[in-house]
């Protein structure tokens, strides 16, 4: 058998579609390329289409209006129609812009998000590469997007863009510290960087999920949600794009397809963050109900992939809900929250988790009292 998981995925496909086995050996590598490339491309386009539609519908319903209704039933084809329209738009590069940087910036931002999808497990076998440094890789690659955004802000030669980019850089960079602390806490519990190992560790009853591992894990969970909102520049942390102050921040000068690349990257990042919350704290692709998780074959795969997408979209909805609930915070409040609240709380929770892990390793603390060892 091949050593990494995509290989296993290919062999599963071969089992399901036996006629592919008749293909000569040299076609296996193109097939491999097809399968590995397919995962991030499918997911990012699905998230782009569904996420944008969902955002508009949720926003609309929260403001008691209908939102897009014209194309397709209930406006479901609206995003597709928008995409086609954007393709016909004029490609505008401002006269005083730094041309090479202006062109490269959206690509850099997109690459930063696209590469995140490598380490997201949609099922035990449906992952591009199960890196043994998974979490570390995510933490490292997640900061590439900022480079693209600073490039965009600087290259646009527009005051709004530059201000937005500076705010964004400061914010994203600051909140990487609480995110890092949360990730470290999860690694203490899981004992592995690999994303598949982390999810497998949470197999069984939902009391095995990392959020129930020890009495402070929910603090880490909430800290991670807050910090990921800030990393994503979502409301109430949307200072870099504050419409009422900075027009639209770093992408003020971007239009047409270049703008939509930033847009897709943003929704991709939103999905990755939501999926990460599910993977790190809520059992990832496992439903938390043992007999559902033990189903084999194609039905089992569908259930597990569905579970991950369900959890991720629940958190996408949470992000949208928060957007229409909380007003935007000020810059000083943003730093207060990071350095004086999340970082100290995160460190304390990390130490308590480490202590708990030393004294009581193993199952979740919720199952300790009434049914020890029920989960595994």
Partner 1 sequence: MISNAPVSLAIVVLLAVAVPAVFVLVPRLLGARRASSERQTPYECGLLPVQDTKSRFSVKFYLVAVLFILFDLEVAFIFPWAVVYDELAVRGFLEMLVFVGVLFLGLMYVIRKGALDWD
H helix intervals, the chain: 5-16, 28-62, 78-87, 99-114, 134-141, 144-155, 159-190, 195-201, 217-231, 243-246, 256-281, 290-293, 297-323, 331-335, 343-359, 366-370
Minimum CB–partner distance for residue 217 and partner 1 (Å): 14
Residue from 273, 343, 349, 366 binding partner 1 (CB under 8 A): 343
Cβ 323 to partner 1, closest distance in Å? 24
Phi-psi sector, 358: left (phi>0), alpha (psi -120 to 50), beta: alpha
Tell me the two tokens of residue 78: 């609206």
Tell me which residues in 267-306 interact with partner 1 (CB under 8 A): none
Q: Could you tell me the smallest distance in angstroms from the CB atom of residue 227 to partner 1?
A: 12
- From residue 285, how far is each of 29, 239, 242 by CA, in Å? 28, 33, 35
- Shortest Cβ 107–partner 1 spacing (Å): 5
* Residue 209 · residue 281 · CB < 8 Å: yes
Q: Is 339 in the site for partner 1 (CB under 8 A)?
A: yes
Stretch 162-181 residues interacting with partner 1 (CB under 8 A): 162-163, 166, 169-170, 173-174, 176-177, 180-181
User: Toward partner 1, which CB reaches closer, 299 or 340?
Assistant: 340
Residue 130 or residue 293: which is nearer to partner 1 going by CB?
130
Would the CA dihedral through 311, 314, 316, 322 be positive or negative?
A: negative
Q: Binding partner 1 by CB under 8 A: which of 196, 350, 367, 375?
A: 350
Residue identified by tokens 């004294």 is 359
Closest CA to 184 of 54, 348, 44: 348
Six token digits for residue 26: 């040299």
Footprint of partner 1 on 189-228 (CB under 8 A): 191-193
Question: Which position among 20, 32, 81, 374 is part of the footprint of partner 1 (CB under 8 A)?
Answer: 32
Closer of 5 and 319 to partner 1 (Cβ): 5
Q: Residue 231: which of 312, 151, 177, 161 has the closest Cα?
A: 177
Interface with partner 1, residue 188, by CB under 8 A = yes
Distance CA 154, CA 164 (A): 10
Among 12-20, 73-81, 150-158, 367-375, the segment contacting partner 1 (CB under 8 A)? 150-158
Q: Is 187 in the site for partner 1 (CB under 8 A)?
A: yes
* Interface with partner 1 in residues 96-135 (CB under 8 A): 96-97, 103, 106-107, 110-111, 114-115, 117-118, 128-129, 131, 135
Taking contact as CB under 8 A, which single stretch among the options 232-240, 290-298, 303-311, 355-363 is the one that binds partner 1? 355-363
Smallest distance from the beta carbon of 288 to partner 1, in angstroms? 24
CB atoms within 10 A of CB 305: 15
How many Cα atoms sit within 13 Å of 273 on the Cβ side? 28
Residue among 100, 361, 372, 373 that touches partner 1 (CB under 8 A): 361
d(CA 47, CA 269): 10
Rounded CA separation 116/279 (Å): 14
Minimum gap (Å) between residue 290 Cβ and partner 1? 25
User: Does residue 26 interact with partner 1 by CB under 8 A?
Assistant: no
Options 218-226, 274-282, 289-297, 333-341: segment touching partner 1 (CB under 8 A)? 333-341
222: left (phi > 0), else alpha (psi -120 to 50), else beta? alpha
| 344: contact with partner 1 by CB under 8 A | yes
| Contacting partner 1 within 249-268 (CB under 8 A) | 252-253, 256-258, 260-261
Q: Does 310 bind partner 1 (CB under 8 A)?
A: no
**Least distance from C-beta 317 to partner 1, angstroms?**
27
The SS3 assignment for 346 reads helix
Site string for partner 1, 34-73 (x = CB under 8 A): --xx--xx--------------------------------
């Amino acid at each position: 058998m091949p050593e990494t998981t995509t290989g296993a995925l290919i062999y599963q496909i071969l089992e399901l579609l036996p006629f592919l086995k008749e293909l000569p050996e040299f076609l296996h590598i193109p097939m491999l390329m097809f399968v590995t490339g397919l995962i991030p491309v499918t997911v990012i386009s699905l998230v782009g289409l569904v996420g944008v539609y969902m955002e508009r519908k949720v926003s609309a319903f929260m403001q008691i209006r209908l939102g897009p209704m014209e194309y397709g039933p209930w406006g479901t084809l609206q995003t597709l129609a928008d995409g086609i329209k954007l393709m016909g738009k004029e490609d505008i590069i401002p006269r005083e812009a730094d041309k090479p940087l202006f062109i490269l910036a959206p690509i850099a931002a997109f690459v930063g998000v696209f590469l995140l999808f490598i380490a997201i497990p949609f099922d035990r076998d449906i992952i591009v590469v199960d890196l043994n440094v998974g979490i570390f890789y995510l933490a490292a690659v997640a900061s590439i997007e900022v480079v693209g955004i600073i490039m965009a802000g600087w290259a646009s030669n527009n005051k709004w863009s530059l201000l937005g980019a500076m705010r964004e850089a400061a914010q994203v960079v600051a909140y990487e510290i609480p995110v890092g602390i949360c990730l470290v806490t999860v690694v203490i519990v899981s004992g592995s960087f690999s994303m598949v190992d982390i999810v497998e560790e949470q197999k069984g009853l939902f009391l095995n999920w990392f959020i129930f591992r020890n009495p402070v894990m929910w603090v880490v969970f909430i800290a991670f949600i807050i910090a990921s909102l800030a990393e994503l520049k979502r409301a109430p942390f949307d200072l870099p794009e504050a419409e009422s102050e900075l027009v639209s921040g770093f992408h003020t000068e971007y239009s047409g397809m270049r703008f939509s690349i930033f847009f897709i990257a943003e929704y991709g990042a939103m999905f990755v963050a939501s999926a990460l919350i599910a993977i790190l704290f809520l059992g990832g692709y496992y439903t938390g109900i043992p007999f559902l998780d033990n189903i084999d074959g194609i039905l089992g795969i569908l259930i597990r992939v569905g579970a991950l997408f369900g959890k991720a979209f629940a958190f996408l909805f949470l992000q949208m809900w928060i957007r229409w609930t909380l007003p935007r915070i000020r810059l000083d409040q943003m730093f207060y929250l990071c350095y004086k609240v999340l970082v100290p709380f995160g460190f304390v929770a990390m130490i308590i988790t480490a202590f708990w892990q030393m004294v009581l390793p193993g199952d979740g603390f919720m199952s300790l009292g009434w049914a020890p060892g029920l989960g595994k």
